[in-house]
Amino acid sequence: MEMSPAPGRITAVASTAPGSEMSRPSAHDGPVHDDRVRPARPGPARARALDRVALAAAGATVAVQIAHPLLAGGPLHAATAIAVLLFATASLSHAAARGGVPAAGLLLLVAGGIGLAVEAVGVTTGLPFGEYRYDDSLGPQLLGVPLLVPLAWTMAAYPCLLLGRRLAAAPDGRCRPAGVLLGAAALAAWDLFLDPQMVAEGHWTWTHPDPGLPGVPGVPLTNYAGWVLVALVMTAALDRALPPSGGSAGRTARPAAPALLLGWTWAGSTVADLVFFGRPAVAAYGAVVLGATVLPYLAALRADRQVSR
């Protein structure tokens, strides 16, 4: 399974306050340059409400995915679709809590748009992942790609972006180059769990599945290489498109929902592959590679929480 805003613009800011005169930039002040669109952010009350929606959707995602090992056939396919919709709702709601509804729209446009584009190219040409085709089990398709797939790119890319920004710890909240690399690494590592599961459930098949990772049949190495490339482009594009949170409303949105989803993806997938699905190699690869970014991220958030007490 399977990514930048308008160029810098000139802005002039005028502000008023009770009992003060209006302040206007003069011709001598020179232009003020800003290299990204900064959407209007929600007020603290609305941000808290959206944050609660994100956390509720994240919790529901976990609940649905816990049932996966107990399901098969149609019920399993339905549970997969519901989990994607809930996960995407959590990511989009949290983005809206941090940066307003326009930020959520940009997230869907950039991540979903890039995801749809690369998948459409992929099923047509075999680039950049290798030759594959989707089954009908994931629902309606556009350009040969199930509509759930761009949502899946969106749901996963957003928490990985936050991970990269936090681990890079840039003063302005944006990713340093290292942050983009870390976020992309987490996103690409996600597929060490995802592709083997979706292939085993019959959602897509590879024309040439070999050579692959030892102990992971059915998924070619070219797929993982393609994920690394797309993850880099998508994470960099999202960092450019989505401004960091700012003001009291942005700080109101806690990192709980994306952190829960990242932690659950790592821990839940490791246990499921090891205990329920009989894929110890998948569990090992995913636990080590995804854990290399998720565990430091969770530790950093815990340290932040202790400092804020």
What confidence score (pLDDT) does residue 173 get? 57
pLDDT over 70 percentage in the chain:
82
Sign of CA pseudo-dihedral 247, 240, 116, 231: negative
In this predicted structure, the answer to whether residue 22 has a pLDDT above a threshold of 60 is no
Secondary structure letter of residue 8 according to DSSP: P
Q: What is the CA radius of gyration of the chain?
A: 21
Listed residue (117, 125, 167) closest to 142, CA to CA: 117
Q: What is the mean pLDDT of residues 23-33?
A: 46
Q: For all residues of the chain together, what is the average pLDDT?
A: 87
Question: Which residue ranges make up each domain of the chain?
Answer: 9-308
| Residue range 99-122, pLDDT digits in tens | 999 999 999 999 999 999 999 999
pLDDT over 90 percentage in the chain:
75
Tell which wins on pLDDT, 44 or 286. 286
**Count of H-run helices and E-run strands, the chain:** 10, 6
- Cis before residue 128, ω within 30 degrees of 0? yes
In this predicted structure, the answer to whether residue 252 has a pLDDT above a threshold of 90 is no
Sorting pLDDT into bands at 50, 70 and 90, what band is 245? Answer: low
Q: What is the mean pLDDT of residues 285-299?
A: 98
Least confident of 22-26, 91-95, 160-164, 202-206: 22-26
| Residue range 29-75, pLDDT digits in tens | 444 444 444 445 567 889 899 999 999 999 999 999 999 999 999 99
Listed residue (107, 179, 180, 185) closest to 150, CA to CA: 107
Q: Which residue has the tokens 């099923």?
A: 123
| Residue range 139-182, pLDDT digits in tens | 999 999 999 999 999 999 999 999 999 999 765 556 678 999 99
Tell me the β-bridge partners of 134: 204
Q: Which residue has the tokens 């292939």?
A: 199
